[in-house]
Amino acid sequence: MIQQATSLEVALAFTKAWTSQDMEAAARYVADDVVFDGPDTGAKPYLDQLTRLAGSVTDLEMIAVYGKDDQALIMYDLHTCQEGTLTCVKCLTVQDGKIVQDLLTPDSFKIRNMQ
């Protein structure tokens, strides 16, 4: 019997793929009707946004990971050539090996310093 990947395994493989600019591999982990807390819903707009961001990624450092049932929580420092280092927390919901929801809490340091 083939064992399906855990939510954490899916989240980590997906994150590694898109931050390495392997969008074809990243797309394999995304449900067609993925919900993202951005302006659009669905795999194409979601992956288009990630593709733009991935182009500026220079490194990724995992800080913490946690997986339970159908959710994975990952925290990482995303190093970019345009925005510098961004600390991000993602809660990814996974069903049947695909990400169906991505809740992102971005680094608010830059926002706090705009005031």
- Residue 78, classed as helix, strand or coil, is strand
Please give the distance of CA 33 from its chain centroid, rounded to a whole number.
15
Predicted confidence band at 47 (pLDDT cuts at 50, 70, 90)? very high
Query: For the segment 68-109, what is each residue's pLDDT rounded down to a tens digit?
Result: 999 999 999 999 998 889 899 999 999 999 999 999 887 766
Cα angle, residue 109 at apex, residues 13 and 93 outer, rounded to 5°:
30
Fold of 7-104: Nuclear Transport Factor 2; Chain: A, (3.10.450)
Q: Say whether pLDDT at 111 is over 60.
A: no
Q: Where are the alpha helices (DSSP H) in 20-115?
A: 23-27, 43-54, 109-112
Q: Is 19 helix (H, G, I), strand (E, B) or coil?
A: helix
Give the integer Cα–Cα distance in Å for 20 and 33. Answer: 23
What is the residue extent of each domain of the chain?
Answer: 7-104
